[in-house]
């Protein structure tokens, strides 16, 4: 039976680029068709019927016609807009990071229902207000599972020995996880892993997202876990995601921005100056 030329699918935009004078090519993640390249003809013209709907960071319902090089978009409807996600620049940058990891994980036209559900769920969590860093780590761990490269956090990857709770281990992405002190391992691409970070990595593997959201973690442990998962996925995907730099820049900017405390009527910068004994213009009182 010949393949139908017309078909409709749910989709999430993973990436896009302008093509020609008015067209745009997009990479879509779909549950049944996997990753597909499509073209939206004339979308950049002010009169286009598609312009306001074929957007990233949303779940879409897309009607397509099969083409030789690209499938052609004929109709689009927004199913879930996830508008609250866009209120936070860090959440938005994290969503782009999630999309790029999915894009780099897939070959074209391979069914990808589990990965589609994973990306969709991560966007829901960001939209619901889960801390972007927690959402990213939760997603990264489950993406590793989908890739068939679940990191080993319980046993030494060299000798398969169960690691003791307080035992110092090293994190070696090239070997697939932790290495106990009994083995030297390779002399590159490795880092010591604190017991606190190892416990958190285990939590991301085993706990549901609601429990993860409630964890109270020292900032240094969160940074260590982030570095561990980033290095692991960079090795698994054989490249660094380009969106990571933008995400890091956004987070650095957010961290440096003064934040107003509604209960005290002060900003974080005001409180820092008070603690140093400075006035608002930077001079010491008296």
**What confidence tens digit (pLDDT) does each residue in 240-255 have?**
899 999 999 999 998 8
Nearest to 13 by CA among 112, 114, 99, 109: 99
Q: Which residues contact 90 (CB under 8 A, 6 or more apart)?
A: 132, 247, 250, 251, 254
Mean pLDDT for all residues in the chain: 88
Q: Could you tell me the CA-to-CA distances from 186 to 79, 160, 191, 235 in Å, in that order?
A: 49, 17, 11, 15
Sheet of 177-179: strand order equals 177-179, 169-172, 191-193
What average pLDDT does the segment 209-219 reach?
Answer: 94
Split at pLDDT 50, 70, 90, the class of 268 is: very low
171-193 tens-digit pLDDT: 999 999 999 988 866 655 567 89
In this predicted structure, what is the pLDDT of residue 228? Answer: 96
Give me the residue spans of the domains in the chain.
6-81, 86-251
β-strand partners of 13:
28
pLDDT exceeding 70 applies to what percent of the chain?
86
Task: Average the pLDDT over each of 26-30, 65-69, 209-213 and give the range with the smallest value.
Answer: 65-69
Can you say how many angstroms the Cα of residue 36 is from the centroid of all Cα atoms in its chain?
20
In this predicted structure, what is the pLDDT of residue 281? Answer: 45
Question: Which superfamily, per CATH, for 86-251?
Answer: Recombination protein O, C-terminal domain (1.20.1440.120)
In this predicted structure, what is the pLDDT of residue 259? Answer: 61
pLDDT at 270 over 80: no
Q: Do 6-81 and 86-251 show the same overall fold?
A: no
What average pLDDT does the segment 71-96 reach?
Answer: 95
Tell which CATH architecture fits domain 6-81: Beta Barrel (2.40)
How far apart, in whole angstroms, are the C-alpha atoms of residue 221 and residue 217? 7
In this predicted structure, what is the pLDDT of residue 3? Answer: 56
What average pLDDT does the segment 159-165 reach?
Answer: 93
Taking the CA atoms of residue 111, residue 63, residue 11 and residue 9 in that order, the dihedral angle to the nearest 10 degrees is -40
What average pLDDT does the segment 231-244 reach?
Answer: 92
In this predicted structure, what is the pLDDT of residue 284? Answer: 38
In this predicted structure, what is the pLDDT of residue 4? Answer: 64
User: Reduced to 3 states, what is the DSSP secondary structure of residue 262?
Assistant: coil
């Amino acid at each position: 039976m010949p393949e139908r030329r017309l078909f409709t699918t749910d989709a999430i935009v993973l990436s896009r680029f302008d093509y020609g004078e008015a067209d745009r090519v997009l990479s879509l993640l779909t549950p049944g068709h996997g990753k597909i390249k499509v073209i939206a003809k004339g979308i950049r013209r002010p009169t286009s019927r598609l312009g306001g709907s074929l957007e990233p960071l949303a779940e879409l319902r897309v009607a397509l016609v099969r083409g030789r090089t690209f499938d052609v978009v004929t109709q689009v409807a927004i199913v879930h807009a996830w508008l609250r996600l866009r209120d936070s620049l860090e959440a938005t940058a994290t969503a782009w990071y999630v999309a790029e990891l999915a894009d780099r994980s897939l070959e074209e036209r391979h069914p990808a229902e589990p990965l589609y559900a994973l990306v969709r769920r991560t966007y829901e969590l960001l939209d619901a207000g889960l801390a972007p860093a927690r959402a990213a780590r939760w997603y990264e761990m489950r993406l590793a599972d989908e890739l068939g490269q679940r990191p080993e956090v319980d046993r030494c990857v060299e000798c398969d020995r169960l690691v003791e709770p307080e035992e110092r281990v090293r994190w070696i992405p090239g070997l697939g996880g932790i290495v106990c002190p009994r083995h030297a391992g390779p002399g590159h691409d490795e880092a010591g892993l604190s017991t606190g970070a190892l416990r958190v990595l285990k939590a991301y593997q085993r706990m549901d997202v609601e429990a993860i959201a409630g964890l109270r973690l020292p900032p240094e442990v969160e940074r260590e876990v982030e570095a561990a998962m980033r290095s692991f996925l960079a090795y698994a995907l054989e490249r660094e995601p380009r969106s990571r730099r933008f995400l890091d820049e956004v987070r650095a900017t957010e961290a440096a921005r003064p934040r107003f405390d509604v209960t005290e009527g002060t900003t974080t910068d005001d409180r820092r100056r008070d603690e140093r004994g400075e006035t608002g213009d930077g001079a010491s009182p008296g």
